[in-house]
Structure 1
Amino acid sequence: MKNILMLLLTGLLFQCTPENNSELSSIENTILSDNSDFPTGDAVVEYAKLYYGVPYYYGSANPQTGFDCSGYIHYVYTHFGIEVPRSSVDFTEVGTDVEVEEAQPGDLVLFTGTNPKNRTVGHIGIVVKNDLEGLDFIHATSGKQHAVTVTPLEGYYENRFVKVIRLI
């Protein structure tokens, strides 16, 4: 029952925007006040989705103003009491490397910065799903969407792909 309620409320929360963040905070606190109930990768993804559409804002880890990519990851994971680096490049030597085919919801996908020839990590997202249709990840992007969004691992991002890591 709790999972069904989560899914229903998450669907409603996808429509939350910065203008109605107080409503988001109220619902978030009601559903997610006990972090110990949500230690799974699926729970991390559902929590991450609460911030879908929050604008991109460089250097920020605050949903009231926006997120950059690593600020978003930091915000989501620390909600669950999981300490993570604040900078995407610092994830390079963190966690356990996972083959793309074995990536699961809640794993982190690391990318180069905007120049794929420079193989230094410069962007990060959370795996949402990985099935026969491919891998999708949620991230705060400074690109066309300029917000937290879900993107498939293909084309532009496939060229920038570095690795997948698991923290939970």
Structure 2
Amino acid sequence: MRKLFIVVFLIFLSASAVHAQMQLPFEYQQVVKKLISEFGKKSTTHYTEDPAEVSSSTLIDFAKKLIGIPYRYATSNPNVGFDCSGFVNYVFSNFGFNVPRSSTEFANTGNETSLKECKVGDVLVFTGSNPKIRQIGHVGIVYSVDGDKISFIHATSGKAHGVTITELNDYYKSRFLKVMRIL
């Protein structure tokens, strides 16, 4: 929105100068040229790599930059907050992957693999907060695998109430449903 405002303002400024048959001072011309050239560039917060060439470390490095963004139900906007699927969707979408916006839809996204075979960048699919109800309700991205110790990065409504890294502990193991490989 801000970029659109700047462009409209610059066009208005240029049109006003032409209409009044005035030449902008050299300093303003340089500023206008710089702003127009910057407007055409992609945002530095979004990667433009081919999804087939994205490494798990690149994906996780990007995801780590989002740690601390608060939890917010039904959102996938880093300026507002993330819910779990909004976070996973935002991270993968920034690399050109077309992934669901809903945690339940991750059940059929990518290729299922076992927990023993999971790798950094895989998506962990969990039940909601009640492990007795075996329906999908939460997702996260595998952050690290060290033997049997797995950590994942996710947006949680729990204690951290935002994007955080959590160990796959007994509580999350009781909620675990499957691993989906997208990379």
TM range (shorter): 0.7 to 0.9
> 2:177 maps to which residue?
162
**Residue correspondence of structure 1 range 1-168 to structure 2 within 5 A:** 29=44, 33-36=47-50, 39-132=54-147, 134-168=149-183
Q: 2: CA distance between counterparts of 1:112 and 1:33?
A: 31
Displacement of 1:126 after TM fit? 0.2
Q: 2: CA distance between counterparts of 1:154 and 1:33?
A: 32
In structure 1, stretches of 5+ residues that fail to align are 1-27
Once the two structures are superposed, residues 106-130 of structure 1 have per-residue CA deviations (whole angstroms, 9 ceiling, x without a partner) of 1000000011111111000000111
Q: 1: CA distance between counterparts of 2:47 and 2:141?
A: 21
Displacement of 1:132 after TM fit? 2.0
Q: Secondary structure at the match of 2:93?
A: helix
Q: 1: CA distance between counterparts of 2:117 and 2:58?
A: 18
In structure 2, stretches of 5+ residues that fail to align are 1-42
Q: 2: CA distance between counterparts of 1:53 and 1:151?
A: 13
Give the TM-score normalised by structure 1: 0.78
Q: 2: CA distance between counterparts of 1:33 and 1:167?
A: 17
Once the two structures are superposed, residues 9-62 of structure 1 have per-residue CA deviations (whole angstroms, 9 ceiling, x without a partner) of xxxxxxxxxxxxxxxxxxx817x6442496111211111111001000001100
Displacement of 1:89 after TM fit? 0.5
- State the identity %: 44
CA RMSD, 1 decimal = 1.7
Q: Answer with 1 or 2: which has the greater Rg.
A: 2
Q: Which moved more, 1:38-47 or 1:77-86?
A: 38-47
Which stretches of structure 1, 4 residues or longer, exceed 3 Å deviation after superposition?
none
